[in-house]
Structure 1
């Protein structure tokens, strides 16, 4: 006798909710269930399929390749349910974006707003997270599109060039170096410097450039984001060396940028999965961002 496979919609719903929300607590809120009910559904689904769907990684549940594959195969099922249960109107297509603070705050929010005003049939969900989480979120299929300034080559991820720029020095308008058109590494010797924290690869790159000309600035503060470093420099603490994009888009009268003479180069990328085509809403947003990114003196299209 052939035993027919049976299917459990609650298990599939738990899988999809956990894949899209990232945690059992968020998945439980989304489905109106308890966390234990989500865990039981996932355990039952793993037992029934004979596959490990989630692995624990530092206290978080990380979906396996089998989970991502099963979730993709469920797309037609949930699309059919949406057509059955949904209201008789054009459904909003959702774009799930993830970006680090430097891109998300001020810059992306403005462009998301203009994008939705001209495309009211779309819906955008924005997640702000460190750059390493951008890559992870795309790999785990929790987001459709990411933005990053870190070139992390990983299998399963596609990096599409967006902008490129050279390093700049940012400082208050009354800083002595503001009188120069170009700041050289030796000019920073004994200057008060607001540095990026050591977790940034650019920190070591800058230190190498300064070491080559025996330039030793006085580090007076550290910041974990370029926006924070620029704000500290603007407050008069000193000068900082950063990627001008997209910060230069929000320059003010009491803050100036000067080109920093060095080989340091920055690139910004769109991040998307390379195992499936980008959804139409993601392609539309990428076009919108390219078309409406304002020109500036320190960055250009990649």
Structure 2
């Protein structure tokens, strides 16, 4: 078989013949004579070295190879149409892509709630939400992988612009029927003998929890170490122990049968949105910041136990 490149016209004729199951109908659709269609199909068969159609009882019947080829052509044709529509939408200004990153504490509940607000306002057409570790934030922004990063990690870097969007205290997360669940506030000494699910000392969460315990004149004793807040919440749901988290991570934890009780005299954990100073800020970033502030304000209003408060624009 000669592997010469197929022409677009050949592919178009084959596609129409397959769609109509008739050489005459294909000819009418293409605005050519039936003999021209027959010749084009015969040349295509010769070029490919296979039969594409058989005549059975006077009917044109595609071969198995023809059906497989048509399936690929139809898939590519659909993608081409979608690409064309996307390009025209971008040119009209009624569609865009917004890619951003978030670390686990923010991405669990705060980001989904804010993203729903963006969708309701039809901000951007396509969203890419990337889950990041704290050590990946700087490179993510510097190399333009996304427009911004939402996180509880503070970054002191001259090329990174930071905007504080909300603050939250720490909460103790326990099963709904735990003896501490009915408390209005929990002191670190109240969980001294509980199995604590927690984080390594040098992590953002670990440092915040340790500082809160130091204020109470205590040292944290961890029974189970985890890396991510999702794991801590899941372990509590399985009654392996209890955990202490920032208020953002524990937002709506009652959906998992858990209760978040404020921790007395806890440190304040801030939520930030970081952007790259040396690149123009995408308008969707401003919309995300506003939506995050609104979400934080709503959380504070809806739950009397909430330790979250929105920070005004500076």
TM range (shorter): 0.5 to 0.7
Q: In 2 relative to 1, CA 164–219 (structure 1 residues): closer, same or farther, beyond 3 Å? A: same
Deviations 1:185-210 (A, max 9, x none): 21122221111234413324433543
Counterpart CA distance in 1 for 2:256 and 2:99 is 35
Equivalent residues of 2:210, 2:220 under 8 A apart: no
**SS of residue matched to 2:240:** coil
Instruction: Tell me, in whole angstroms, the C-alpha distance in 2 between the residues paired with 1:286 and 1:214.
Output: 37
Q: Distance in 2 between matches of 1:216 and 1:121?
A: 47
Q: Secondary structure at the match of 2:271?
A: strand
CA contact (8 A) 2:170 2:247 kept: yes
1:122 paired with 2:125, answer yes
Aligned residues: 220
Equivalent position of 1:43 in the other structure: none
1:227 aligned to 2:227?
A: no
Q: Do the aligned partners of residues 186 and 128 (structure 1) sit closer, same or farther apart at CA in structure 2, a change above 3 Å counting?
A: same
Task: Note the residue ranges of structure 2 that are not aligned, 5 or more in a row.
Answer: 1-85, 301-305
CA apart distance, 1:170: 0.6
Q: Counterparts of 1:1-302 in structure 2 under 5 Å?
A: 86-87=87-88, 89-91=91-93, 92-119=95-122, 122-210=125-213, 213=216, 215=218, 219-252=222-255, 254-293=257-296, 294-296=298-300, 297-302=306-311
Q: 1:194 to 1:141 in 2, by over 3 A?
A: same
Q: Which has the higher strand share?
A: 1
Q: CA separation in 1, counterparts of 2:284 and 2:149?
A: 13
Tell me, in whole angstroms, the C-alpha distance in 1 between the residues paired with 2:159 and 2:203: 24
TM-score normalised according to structure 2 size: 0.62
- Displacement after TM superposition at 1:282 (Å): 1.8
Distance 1:267 1:251 in 2: 22
Gaps of 5+ in 1: 1-84
SS of match in other structure, 1:257: strand
CA contact (8 A) 1:190 1:217 kept: no
- 1:124 Cα deviation from its structure 2 partner: 1.7
In structure 2, C-alpha distance between the alignment counterparts of 1:120 and 1:217, rounded to whole Å: 44
Q: Does the CA contact (< 8 Å) of 2:106 and 2:271 recur in 1? A: no
Superposed CA RMSD in Å reads: 2.9
Q: Offset of 1:135 from its aligned partner? A: 2.7
- Larger mean CA deviation between 85-94 and 136-145 belongs to 85-94
- Asked if 1 retains the 8 angstrom alpha-carbon contact of 2:102 and 2:132, the reply is yes
Residues 189 and 216 in structure 1, CA contact (< 8 A), matched pair in contact too: no
Which has the greater radius of gyration?
2
Query: Equivalent residue of 1:183, what SS?
Result: coil
CA distance in 2, matches of 1:106, 1:300: 15
Deviates more, 1:260-269 or 1:249-258: 249-258
Answer yes or no: is the 8 Å Cα contact 2:175–2:257 preserved in 1: yes
Separation in structure 2 between the aligned mates of residue 254 and residue 93 of structure 1, nearest angstrom: 38
